[in-house]
Structure 1
Amino acid sequence: MKPSTKSALLGLMLVLSGCAGTPGAQAPGPVATPAVAPEVRLANVIAAAKGADDRELAVQPLRDPQVQDLREDSTAAIAVRNYGAAAEALNQALLIAPDDPAILQERAEVALLQGENERADTLARRAFELGSRVGPLCRRHWATIEQARLARGLAQDAQSAHVQIAACTVAGLLRM
């Protein structure tokens, strides 16, 4: 037999063997999503945070200078793709301000970059629980949850998170 014929027969046998199933076997679980780079997932989160209306209210709380320095250290570490250092800086900030939704969200985003998708989901949900239910930060929470669930192959759960992103948007006031 020619090598090309052998390859074709082997391929056909593999396909046919995959068709055989056992009676009562359950359908496979969620279909894995195509591999998406963590940086692309984060870009999707950032894009979701941008509102269609530049009049939207976004509250920026006053920050402890030490916490702000740690956040800036994290941003610098992310810029050079040192996600471990970024995570550590935010972990230090969380020791100072453990219930700060913005810091929790930033830490969730770093977890997403590190491929720690379950942790990213958990941190973003915690940030949402503690933070505002509207605005750009709210959209970032839900977009992070969506991306983390997509990365874990949980498409239906990701869809429910996607619906929540729109619920975070409140139209700005008309000023004359």
Structure 2
Amino acid sequence: MTDRAFIPVRIAVLTVSDTRSAADDRSGDTLVGRLEAAGHLLAARAILPDDRTAIAGQLRDWIADAGIDVVLSTGGTGLTGRDVTVEAHRDVYEKEIDAFGTVFTMVSMGKIGTSAVQSRATGGVAQGTYLFALPGSPGACRDAWDEILKAQLDYRHRPCNFVEILPRLTETERRK
């Protein structure tokens, strides 16, 4: 950390599940608890079924909202036929953050061994908003936040972080 001041970001949390409700959304609760404990702001929260069109639509709505800087989704990143969150994210991305999935796999290997290959966690950028698709387990959400996102969403983190380049994500649009 440096002597730079903390800059809170506005984060939306989307849980993708055919079975979860607000009363038992442990993964969403995990993300909300961690982002708020870190000093960030919960900008929106929703639960949607495993439906690619609905997920992509929610992502598009949130990236169009100037009050949201980051979207974290949980669920639907596995290999089954119902797991379509990754495809929905990629329908929306302008740029994929390829290393996010790689680093998440490295973190997961230390926790769950070779079972880490069954996750398709992904990250990307669209319209100046960061989007991350995380697995649906509370443990995976903890790992993604604690080991990657907490530092990358902290302006004080060195040598670089997502927050410091946030204003530049749309710089090509300003040049047109």
Fold conserved (TM > 0.5)?
A: no
Q: Which protein has the bigger helix share?
A: 1
State the TM-score, normalizing by the size of structure 1: 0.29
Q: Which protein has the bigger strand share?
A: 2
State the TM-score, normalizing by the size of structure 2: 0.29
